[in-house]
Structure 1
Amino acid sequence: MDLKDLLGSPESVKRGLPMPFVEISLARGKSAGYVEEVSRAVHDALVAELNMKPDDNFQLIRQCDPNEMVFSRSFRGGPRTGNWIVFRITDGVDRGDRAKRRLYKTLVRLLHEGPGVDPADVFVMITLTPPENFSFADGVIGSDVLAAEALEAARDESAVRSAYTRAEMAYALTELFAHHDRDLILPMLRDDFVLDVPASLPYGGEFVGPEAFGNFFAGVPGGSEVWESFESRVDQVLGGDDHFTVQLTNRAVPKATGKMRVFHNLWLFEIAAGRLAGARLYADTAAATTD
């Protein structure tokens, strides 16, 4: 199989990331206490009606001059006043109509009971975005955060799962090659998993089952008998209909030559019924270069 045939489109995440981000726009000149009550009202409504975690609180609050707030006093509601407030909520999960109805009603009630905002002055927009459009910190994509949280929760519950999401598999593969972490991927392997490494390599062969896979990746393939040093960088993890491909750039010093070489590998992982069924290494040694 040609390497180009193995490359699929970037893996998309099927599940959402529950993390509402709130932008609040209101008239300038309100007291600090008023702004704090508005902030608390929307946060409490999200916790109560969308099951948001209490410490999951990210808001940007903007106070606007009168000429920066342009709105109809009566279109589809009202009458609106100069106390008009806009809430823009970006979420990663579609909560459904019933949850949104509850959120809107709870929000206007809390705003009326707290800072005294008239319900007619409350304008809410909810937009959805997939997890890969979030990065909470450190340049980590949101889909990796979602997968890590799901896998960690399953591990805490000691749950035995028969299938895994594609996002979880992609994250586990990244952790395997980027950080040599086998713990996440081993439960995803079928009992009859087959790892196929070209026999032309010093560490080649066929390795059957999760235990053999774990032993193979316990260190650098081939170990100190083959390499003086070996470093890998994950270029990308791509998903097709029934497989993943992991593209690596390696910088290594083989013991046979003692010279630094840069070369690219591609791993093909087969998917079957929500589990990883097999893997094969395609080693592009012909493209290796010497520094």
Structure 2
Amino acid sequence: MPFVNISLARGKSDRYLASVSQAVHDALVAELNMKPDDNFQLIHQYDPGEMVFNRGFRGGPRSDDWIVFTITGDLDRGERAKRRFYQTLVRLLEERPGVRPADVFVTMTELPPEDFSFAGGVIGTEFAAAESLEAAAKAPGTRDTYTRAEMTYAVTQLFRNRDRGPILPMLRDDVVLTLPTTLPYGGEFTGPAAFGDFFAKTPGGGAVWKSFDSVVDDVLAADDHVIARLTNTAVPKATGKKVVFQNLWFFGVVAGRITSAQLYADTAATTSGAPG
């Protein structure tokens, strides 16, 4: 997730600017394994006197065509990869549009995904988790453990969009789903299939609810658990009256896999006595 600021003297042609932009992007893709469509840049042009630099310190001689690349993002690829990136960038810029290697200045700052939001107020960790899980889904059997960020994303998707896809591969074969026995659909269920069946539909199904919608208040993750707090708006079939209530889901985690899921609910919160 690199974000690139390019600073250079004012007056260059559109073709020159496009070549500089393409060169740094191509180098990031080739040497730091950035996605080809992950391309965000700002180009800043300065008048004479607005770029202050020593023409001979640790390199040079620098000319008036000096260019500064300030790159921030998930750049933890190691020193060898960064060395290759610097060398490739200089080579591409020299080939097109003809920038002298002595005029190329680069700074890189590593930022974790949580320090980015690409759009819609969505934290960058959600995008990163979604992309890593999508890659894992294309290569079944290659992942034995999952990160906290990935589990947070999977639990969020489960309740926000009723999407079981991200979480099912994270379940251990002996995963236990526990629901309060005071609910019509309460009990203890074992295995990914039982877990998937429960979350495939509205809790309890049409026999309990006319409608049931959940809003994810927050999802918190630690090394050994993930907690989801929900606010539910539902219409019990028994009364036909709308009720709003909260509950909490606790997911146990061992060695990067989900081992249990337990619902904590105030069963007196609805007139039907059947929150889910």
Give the TM-score, by structure 2 length: 0.90
Aligned partner of 2:125 in structure 1 is 143
Query: 2: CA distance between counterparts of 1:65 and 1:130?
Result: 34
1:188 aligns with 2:170: yes
Aligned partner of 1:75 in structure 2 is 57
Structure 2, unpaired ranges of 5+: 272-276
Contact in 1 for aligned 2:233/2:242 (Cα 8 Å): yes
1:184 maps to a residue whose letter is P
Aligned partner of 2:116 in structure 1 is 134
Contact in 2 for aligned 1:264/1:285 (Cα 8 Å): no
Aligned partner of 2:212 in structure 1 is 230
- Displacement of 1:209 after TM fit? 1.1
Query: 2: CA distance between counterparts of 1:241 and 1:157?
Result: 25
Contact in 2 for aligned 1:23/1:61 (Cα 8 Å): yes
SS in 2 for 1:253: strand
Aligned partner of 1:167 in structure 2 is 149
Encode CA deviations 1:63-103: one digit per residue, 9 max, x unaligned. 11223322233333333222111101112131111111111
Query: 2: CA distance between counterparts of 1:191 and 1:41?
Result: 48
Query: 2: CA distance between counterparts of 1:134 and 1:118?
Result: 33
1:259 aligns with 2:241: yes
SS in 2 for 1:158: coil
Aligned partner of 1:40 in structure 2 is 22
1:267 maps to a residue whose letter is W
> Which residue, 119, 142, 146 being the options, matches 2:101?
119
Question: Which residues in structure 2 correspond to 1:1-291 (within 5 Å)?
Answer: 19-159=1-141, 161-285=143-267
Structure 1, unpaired ranges of 5+: 1-18
- Displacement of 1:143 after TM fit? 1.6
1:272 maps to a residue whose letter is V
Contact in 2 for aligned 1:194/1:278 (Cα 8 Å): yes
Q: 1:287 to 1:199 in 2, by over 3 A?
A: closer
Name which of structure 1's ranges 127-136 and 225-234 shifts more when overlaid on structure 2. 127-136
Q: 1:160 to 1:116 in 2, by over 3 A?
A: closer
| Number of positions where the alignment pairs a residue of Structure 1 with one of Structure 2 | 271
Contact in 2 for aligned 1:263/1:285 (Cα 8 Å): no
Encode CA deviations 1:220-247: one digit per residue, 9 max, x unaligned. 1112222121110111110123100001
Encode CA deviations 1:186-217: one digit per residue, 9 max, x unaligned. 22111211111111122211111111111111
SS in 2 for 1:48: helix
Aligned partner of 1:15 in structure 2 is none
SS in 1 for 2:131: helix
SS in 2 for 1:66: coil
